[in-house]
Structure 1
Amino acid sequence: MASHNDLGRKGEALAKAHLEATGYEIMDENWCHGKAEIDIIAYKNKQIIFVEVKARSGNYFGEPEDFVDKRKQKLIATAAGEYIYLMNHQGEVRFDIIAILIQREGTHRLNHIEDAFWPAGQ
């Protein structure tokens, strides 16, 4: 397995642990619709939160959250729309990013960005 896949899995596990520790209920993980995947779908305060997790081993080329571009946001929004429809959710939704820098020595820095984006056209 490629090391970037291991990094991604570790990042998602750290993000899930963070969300659970701060009172979020995890509804789904790695939920797919078409070509889009939503890393974590959580619920808190009657709101569904669609979470994109970005884990990197360094920030030489930018912070992890910088890699959630408009194309990725649109894919997430499309999948989120389908999820909302299937769940018949009538409440509010939010799009978050959890950016994680994982150091070689095993430490990490986690940045939970609430309301990180609202996809255009939504």
Structure 2
Amino acid sequence: MPKATKTVERLFRIFPYAGPDMAFHRMLTDGGLFMAVNLPWDMVAPHEEQARKNHRGQSLQQLTGRGGLHAAAVVAILEDRDETEMSVVEANMRLVELWIEFEKTRIGLATT
């Protein structure tokens, strides 16, 4: 496979998370909240070990094949901790915060 193709695949590889039910989707649409649906793979990949701890040894690839995870589960993985109770709104808001921080770091705008 050509190097450019591998780079494109890496850039666009995503980790899906299983979104909320339709009632919550309607609330998001009506309330104007932002909801992450797919995350950059490079954001989640460094947390493979935590994903395995939290999900009975399943790899990120296996979790992806099963449709991803809900927001609270992804937040716990990204924060390298066990999963705790979070509301759907709280989890989505935190997920967006983590994504913004990831992107700032990626492009060199992270604050200390």
Same fold by TM-score, threshold 0.5 exceeded?
no
Compute the TM-score of the two structures, normalised by the length of structure 1: 0.25
Ranked by relative contact order (alpha carbons within 8 Å, sequence separation 6 or more), the top structure is 2
- Greater percentage in helix: 2
- Greater percentage in strand: 1
Compute the TM-score of the two structures, normalised by the length of structure 2: 0.26
Structure (1 or 2) with the larger CA radius of gyration: 2
